[in-house]
A = this chain, B = another copy of it.
């Protein structure tokens, strides 16, 4: 059996290829620079955890890998869109991303704004065109991905994050912030995997969403803990910024030890939600992923 690291690498490579396919370069297009900026922000980096979750949940429920790949590319485009806009001067003003200049540092602010916009739109276009799924599946994919990314999900979480700077949030408030900012897209990724496998059982889809949300929360807390101690070199982005800007985080609210315990509790909850899922390698992979989320160093 492959190790988690090998599986993650293989999935990241497959998602990269799918992104190449769904985000083709258009050298003759007068708006080619926009395409270049979209590809720069999406290709050649990242752990592709969201894409990995789409592929793994699809396989867990017996779906074909090729049915999941366009959805995996779509969710990674949506994630890339959020990073490009988060890094803009009016948001986090970050010049470093995945160890390279951030999109606006490389292409200018206006082109990065448009590249983020176009990535969000192309994510949904890609989901709507998955040639290995039926119309009902693709329409569901569009609904759940647009809701997860929009005002009720990720964008709403960003807005709460903006408002929270310099304020002390309660634990439920902070949990809602992270559920929307990070958890919603992870939850959508897991459900997209079931959709690709054409699983119509609502309870199974709800458990997959729950796994994604709990995993997303654990992942974000671990990210905040890493952010306190890592260097830009290992992190690939500017560390320590959240603490400096007075942003609400679990370590800031609970202290580092309690935050770490909270992340462990989230992972336990995520693993419990897997219990009724079909047995197999993918289930073991997902459990290993939860352990990895707690111990990763970058």
Task: Please report A residues at the B interface, Cβ cutoff 8 Å.
Answer: 29-31, 33-35, 38, 81, 85, 88-91, 109-111, 113-114, 116-118, 120-122, 124-125, 128-129, 135-136, 138-139, 142-143, 146-147, 149-151, 155-160, 162-163, 173, 176-177, 180
**Can you pick out 6 interface pairs between chain A and chain B where the beta carbons lie within 8 Å of each other?**
A31-B157, A85-B113, A85-B114, A114-B158, A120-B120, A135-B136
Across-interface contacts of A89 in B (CB, < 8 A): 90
A125 and B150 form a contact (CB under 8 A): yes
Q: Give the copy number.
A: 2
Is the contact region of chain A dominated by helix, strand, or loop, or is it mixed? helix
Across-interface contacts of A151 in B (CB, < 8 A): 31, 34-35, 38, 118, 121-122
With beta carbons under 8 angstroms apart, the residue of B30, B125, B149, B150 that contacts A143 is B125
| Bound CA span A57–B289, Å | 52
With beta carbons under 8 angstroms apart, the residue of B125, B158, B176, B180 that contacts A146 is B125
Across-interface contacts of A117 in B (CB, < 8 A): 81, 85, 116-117, 120, 150, 155
B143 and A34 form a contact (CB under 8 A): no
| Bound CA span A113–B122, Å | 18
Kindly list the 4 A-B residue pairs having the minimum CB-CB distance in the complex, ordered from nearest.
Answer: A31-B156, A121-B150, A90-B109, A34-B159
B149 and A121 form a contact (CB under 8 A): yes
With beta carbons under 8 angstroms apart, the residue of B111, B116, B143, B158 that contacts A129 is B143
Tell which of A116, A117, A158 has the most Cβ of chain B within 10 Å.
A117
Q: Give the distance to chain B from A18, nearest Cβ to Cβ, in Å.
A: 17
| Bound CA span A207–B14, Å | 40
Across-interface contacts of A35 in B (CB, < 8 A): 151
A150 and B122 form a contact (CB under 8 A): yes
| Bound CA span A88–B114, Å | 11
Q: Give the distance to chain B from A20, nearest Cβ to Cβ, in Å.
A: 15
With beta carbons under 8 angstroms apart, the residue of B34, B88, B121, B163 that contacts A33 is B163
Q: Give the distance to chain B from A193, nearest Cβ to Cβ, in Å.
A: 20
A111 and B159 form a contact (CB under 8 A): yes
| Bound CA span A38–B156, Å | 11
Q: Give the distance to chain B from A72, nearest Cβ to Cβ, in Å.
A: 18
Across-interface contacts of A34 in B (CB, < 8 A): 151, 155-156, 159
A33 and B129 form a contact (CB under 8 A): no
Across-interface contacts of A90 in B (CB, < 8 A): 88-89, 109-110, 113
Assuming A31-B160, A91-B110, A113-B113, what are 18 further A-B pairs, CB within 8 angstroms?
A: A29-B156, A30-B163, A30-B177, A34-B159, A35-B151, A38-B151, A89-B90, A91-B113, A110-B162, A111-B162, A117-B120, A118-B150, A121-B149, A121-B150, A121-B155, A122-B151, A125-B147, A128-B139
